[in-house]
Structure 1
């Protein structure tokens, strides 16, 4: 029994040695990975930031009525180019019953007062003609009569304004809604038959139309707090519109908000820029846009591909591996500057003649797959 166990143990040991030998041979038979090298080169780097936003008119004017009523007729459509003074709509006045009744009562009271003043004036005139009353008393009575006449005219005017919206000769000033500036009709949020409210100290009033000059556009967007400190008023912008392909527009930064707004955990600052609009291009208000801002630029500097960089796990300082022979490399610490995400500036530590190792190259797996495929074909042929 002991001899059998001895021979079994010896057999297991021999099999283990053979398996280890085969594994070692296969491991050593693998091809050694050859690393490519790249030389630093002279180039320029721009650090850009992209702000998302939209293009809107520089000035947009809301046309509001000066009287309450119902839209009787609209004479223009959205997109129509108009000039200052052009007729936009006409309002039909629907008077308030209580206000109309009170105005009619004021007219009646003014008529009664005028009749009474006229009787007193006629009586005093007869007495004055006979020398019974003094000149001063007659003048005072005449003044009261004339004031009563004026009060009646005022009451009649108030009554006409409440009933018709205006008095004779001035109807265009109230019931006719006209453009106050030249431009393009952007929006008409009302339709015929809608009731509108006049603009006053307590109410903004109903907007009948919005007008803007589409030849004067601005970009309105937001930038992150980490980049706003690098911006300066007057910086050039490059505007690209989603609706206008293969074309960019020049702009100039004119406003940076002094206060940020928190959005989704990040503080955003509003910016605005004047957009240069070409005559042959029509830009609609509200187009989504991106503004490219050059935050920093350096010309004729030594750079390498950012993918060649490695970082020390303890100090987190950058370094590269430089060739010192055939597939032999040594570590070299370097100092880096600005980066555009593809190339990075080398401040010190490298020269143009140095060959930098591509450290993150992966081993090809195509050869192994081909060998497995060949083995499968051979087994299929033998069968």
Structure 2
């Protein structure tokens, strides 16, 4: 009987132990699950960049787009119509005032030519008649047959006929050749430069027909000439900026075709009237470009002009993106606890801005750190791995 009781007790004790172990395992699994879910749901604190204010120069400026052109560009036009017979220049050459640049061959109008020839014949007939009368009257005057008054009338008629014949012949020469025999150096067939400068363009060639400048036609351009040492910048400024600029302001020019070189200019003209372009009102400006002896700018280069509106040197600045605005006031967040990464909101007084950095007049010190952009944990980890 004693033996039987012992065999019954052992299985019961084992069940109890397994039950306890099962409950303990269940509790451990449940607890681990709760801890895992808690750990996973726990938010990682955000990290932010911090930057300290620094001393720098702040320049507020506006940019105008335009081009650099000669102040004075002259188009040379012929004084007579005809055909280009010779051209003595080419683009890029320097010419002086009154230098001959081209020669024109005149093609006479047949109506005018016929009238001029007829005028010469009539003048010659009148001259021969007056000459005969004058010679006869002179003989009579020499023998005291007629008075001086009668002889004088014959002489005046003779001189007038002689002058009319010369005028008719000159007119015929002008129609045929564009020049008289007495004034070959003053011919209109030779086109001359009116200024000293560089030839920018010669739009005609030998054989081209040209028209003289008159009240009905501006004439054919033989060449364009300009002084390339007297250059100006022509550009346009938006109406939102034109009120901030004034004549005499310094300008810095950047020319796309000339790298790593800047040119200085002085604003000398602001248009009093704006022109609408693409829905915005633009005002024309002009600036005198200062060139050194070894500097050369080709006409028509596109350029950007930076006009300095305001400048402050050696002032405390921060990146403009660090500012926050509320109710027309500017604020920054200053680091107060580096260990816990805590920030304090602080109002600041700002000055001028160049679009990147902004002047801080008061509110923060040079040694304080200001809250910047949020740090991406993935990028931070990649950076640490790369450094490792």
**Corresponding residue to 1:317 among 295, 318, 329:** 329
Deviation of 1:283 after TM superposition, in Å, equals 2.2
TM-score by length of 1: 0.81
1:157 maps to 170
1:1-383 matched pairs, under 5 angstroms: 25-28=39-42, 30-118=43-131, 120-121=133-134, 125=138, 134-172=147-185, 173-312=187-326, 315-325=327-337, 326-358=340-372, 360-365=373-378
> How large is the RMSD of aligned CA atoms in angstroms?
2.8
Deviation at 1:166, TM superposition (A): 0.9
Shift of 1:189: 0.4
Aligned 8 A contact 1:165 1:171 in 2: no
TM-score (norm 2): 0.80
Deviation at 1:323, TM superposition (A): 3.1
Looking at structure 1, the residues matched to 205 and 112 of structure 2 have their Cα atoms a distance apart, in angstroms, of 26
SS at match of 2:310: strand
1:330 deviates by 3.1
Partners of 1:241 and 1:367 in 2: CA distance: 41
Q: Distance in 2 between matches of 1:98 and 1:240?
A: 59
Distance 1:264 1:105 in 2: 63
Segment of structure 1 superposing worse, 154-163 or 134-143:
134-143
Distance apart, 1:139 and its partner CA = 2.8
1:2-57 Cα deviation digits (max 9, x unpaired) = xxxxxxxxxxxxxxxx99997654221x4211233333333220012222111212
What corresponds to 1:379 in structure 2? Answer: none
1:57/1:209 CA distance change after superposition, 3 Å: same
Q: Distance in 1 between matches of 2:34 and 2:96?
A: 94
Q: List per-residue Cα deviations over 1:326-381 (Å, max 9, x = no partner).
A: 423332233322111111122333333443222x4154245899xxxxxxxxxxxx
CA distance in 1, matches of 2:267, 2:117: 59
Structure 2 unaligned segments of length 5 or more: list them. Answer: 1-31, 383-388
- Give the Cα–Cα distance (whole angstroms) in 1 for the partners of residues 34 and 80 of structure 2: 100
- Give aligned pairs, total: 348
- Output the CA distance in 2 between the equivalents of 1:101 and 1:212: 42
Question: Which of 93-102 and 249-258 deviates more?
Answer: 249-258
Q: Is the 8 A contact 1:87 1:176 kept in 2?
A: yes
1:334 is paired with a residue of what secondary structure?
strand
Q: Does the 8 A contact of 2:332 with 2:371 survive in 1? A: yes
Larger radius of gyration: 2
Distance in 1 between residues matched to 2:208 and 2:38, nearest whole Å? 90
Q: Is the 8 A contact 1:51 1:223 kept in 2?
A: yes
| Gapped regions of structure 1 (runs ≥ 5) | 1-17, 370-383
How far apart, in 2, do the equivalents of 1:177 and 1:282 lie? 28
Q: Segments of 4+ in structure 1 off by > 6 A?
A: 18-22
Cα contact 1:183–1:214 (8 A) shared by 2: yes
Structure 2 residue matching 1:36: 3-state secondary structure? strand
Q: Measure how far apart 1:100 and its partner are.
A: 0.9
